[in-house]
Structure 1
C-alpha cells in the first residue's frame, strides 16, 4: 500500500511551553486530534541552533530546559498545513519548522 505523505519537523527546546505544558506534548496531542498517521518526539543529546550555541548533554554544562527536542509528524500535506496553522494559533514557540515535500510512502504491512 502506498500513500502520498509529507513530514513536518519542529525543532524545540525542552523548556518551550504552549498552553502551560511542554510544547512537544501539545504538538503531539493536536496531531492526534487531526488524525496524523504518525508522530514522535525525540530528545537530542547534542547539537546547535540558530544562535550557534553548542549543546552537549555529555558535558553536563547546559541547563536541562535548553536541551533540544525534535517533533516529527507524518501525514497528508493538507493535514500538516492544518496542524501548523492550529499550532501557530496556540502560540507555537519561534523555532525552526520544516515542512518537507510530499513523497510516496509504502507500508511494509500487507
Structure 2
C-alpha cells in the first residue's frame, strides 16, 4: 500500500452527500451486509494481507479496480469526527516490479 489521498481534492467548497453537515449518517457508511458479497470478501482480504489498513482505517466500499490494483473508499478509524474520505490503492504484488515502480512514481507525482 503506497499512497493514501483525499478523494475530495480539487473540488473546492462544493458540497456533496459525503460531507454535507446536514446529514447525521455519512453516505459512505454503507452497512457491511448491504455490500455485494464479493466486495465484502475483498475488503476482508485487504485487511488480512495489509493489517496496517485495519489499524488506521475503516474500509467502506470498493470504488475501482484495474489490472494491477484495486481502490477502496475508507475513513479514519480513530477520528470518527473527521469527515474526509480516503482512496486506498492496493497494488497487487504479483505485478511486474517495473510496473509497480511506474505506478508508484505516478501516484507520487499527483500527490
TM-score (norm: length of structure 2): 0.37
Q: Indicate the structure whose relative CO is greater, using CA pairs within 8 Å and at least 6 residues apart.
A: 1
Whichever structure has more helix as a proportion of its residues is 2
Whichever structure has more strand as a proportion of its residues is 1
TM-score (norm: length of structure 1): 0.37
